[in-house]
Amino acid sequence: MANHTSPAPLAYSIKDAVAVTTLSRPRIYQLINEGKLETRKLGRRTIILADSLRRLVQEGC
C-alpha cells in the first residue's frame, strides 16, 4: 500500500502563516516590513515564501 503525503507548501498566506507559527497577524506584518520575511504579491494577495518562514523560526526573530 502506497503512503501518500502532501508536498510541503511553497508559500503561505498571511492567515496560514499566523496559524503555523502562532505569531500574531500584526507581528507577521512587522516582520515583513522589517525585511525578515520574504513575500510575493499574486494579484492583491500577499504570500510568504515557506523557506523564509522556516528560516525565521529556526534562527529566531
The boundaries of the domain holding residue 26 are 11-59
Domain-located, residue 35:
yes
Whether the model clears a pTM of 0.75, i.e. scores above it, the answer is yes
Which residues lie across from 42 on neighbouring strands? 45
User: Does residue 45 have a pLDDT over 90?
Assistant: yes
Task: Kindly state the cell numbers that stand for 36.
Answer: 525578515
Q: How many domains does the chain have?
A: 1
Question: Which is higher by pLDDT, 4 or 25?
Answer: 25
Domain membership flag for residue 6: no
Pair 9, 50: CB distance under 8 Å: yes
Domain assignment present for residue 21? The answer is: yes
- Does 15 map to a domain? yes
- Is residue 7 over pLDDT 80? yes
SS (H, E, C) the chain: CCCCCCCCCCEEEHHHHHHHHCCCHHHHHHHHHCCCCCEEEECCEEEEEHHHHHHHHHHCC
Q: Is residue 53 part of a domain?
A: yes
